[in-house]
Amino acid sequence: MSNKVITMFYELKDAKSGEILESNMTNGGISFITGHGHIIPKLEEELLKLKAGDRTSITIPAAEACGEYDNQAVQSLPKEQFAGIELREGMELFGQGEDGGSVRVTVKAIGESEVMIDFNHPYAGKDLGFSVEILEIREPSEDEMATGMVGGAHSCGCGGHDHGSGGCCGGHGHHHGDGGCGCGGHGHSHDDEDECCGGAHHENGGGCCGKHH
């Protein structure tokens, strides 16, 4: 199947609790190129069945979304590894995995000499419910295929800032200003919240949503 550029609005909820996890319904549509691992594979598969103007809801079970929650992906590291960082429970940090790629972790607890961190994706164990409205589906240009980025649009993929296999809709994407996207990837703005955890790593490499451990 050939690559497509998809532009859409979306709202992401925890399918069981109904909690809204992300939404770009008021921030303008997001665009991405299929076949580049920018989104959860199952979500991309379902979106490719749609056409411009379609509105629908898509539910993706945890196993096909960000994976089941792995208790072994929680570990303690010496507090000295986090020197210079103002730690807070629940904050997210970035470090380097054993494979050399970037991984994101969540601070679960802060002790006297150790910090407990969670390498699970924030949406691990959650069934994800997407409400989407397709604005456009088209063929990508040669430049877009070469770069993997959609020209002149709020794009997923986030250039060279991908973490793992995805940039949004299920990847570890970052927001770039107000037009960024998360779409299952729990995106972030490039601001003071983006701390680095000083080389923290997990034996499983800290897999990401759309690329299971």
Residue 117 near residue 106, CB atoms below 8 Å: yes
pLDDT of res. 175: 32
CATH of the domain at 81: 2.40.10.330
User: Are residues 49 and 10 located together in one domain of the fold?
Assistant: yes
Helix (H) or strand (E) holding 43: helix 41-47
> Which of 68, 92, 70 shows the shortest CA–CA distance to 203?
70
Beta bridge mates, 58: 130
**Better-predicted residue by pLDDT, 160 or 156:** 156
User: Are residues 54 and 133 located together in one domain of the fold?
Assistant: yes
**Better-predicted residue by pLDDT, 204 or 185:** 185
Q: What is the mean pLDDT of residues 117-137?
A: 95
Residue 153 near residue 167, CB atoms below 8 Å: no
User: Are residues 30 and 111 located together in one domain of the fold?
Assistant: no
Confidence bin at 156 (pLDDT 50/70/90): low
pLDDT tens digits for range 5-30: 999 999 999 999 999 999 988 777 89
CA angle 35, 39, 41 (to 5 degrees): 70
Task: Count the domains in the chain.
Answer: 2
| Domain extent for 133 | 5-66+124-179
Q: Please give the C-alpha separations between residue 161 and each of 49, 89, 137, 140, 202, in angstroms, as whole numbers.
A: 29, 25, 25, 21, 20
Q: Which amino acid is at 185?
A: G
User: Are residues 57 and 140 located together in one domain of the fold?
Assistant: yes
pLDDT at 133 over 80: yes
Q: φ and ψ at 73, to 5 degrees?
A: -90, 10
User: Are residues 9 and 62 located together in one domain of the fold?
Assistant: yes
Q: Specify the DSSP class assigned to residue 150.
A: -
Supply the mean pLDDT for the chain: 76
pLDDT of res. 1: 64
Confidence bin at 197 (pLDDT 50/70/90): very low
User: Are residues 82 and 117 located together in one domain of the fold?
Assistant: yes
Using DSSP's 3-state secondary structure scheme, residue 44 falls into helix
Beta bridge mates, 63: none
96 CB burial (10 A radius; 0-12, 13-18, 19+)? middle
pLDDT at 155 over 90: no
User: Are residues 105 and 133 located together in one domain of the fold?
Assistant: no
Confidence bin at 163 (pLDDT 50/70/90): very low
User: Are residues 11 and 54 located together in one domain of the fold?
Assistant: yes
Residue 52 near residue 198, CB atoms below 8 Å: no
Q: Specify the DSSP class assigned to residue 155.
A: B
For the chain, the residue count is 213
CATH of the domain at 46: 3.10.50.40
**Better-predicted residue by pLDDT, 185 or 203:** 185
User: Are residues 35 and 54 located together in one domain of the fold?
Assistant: yes
pLDDT of res. 153: 54
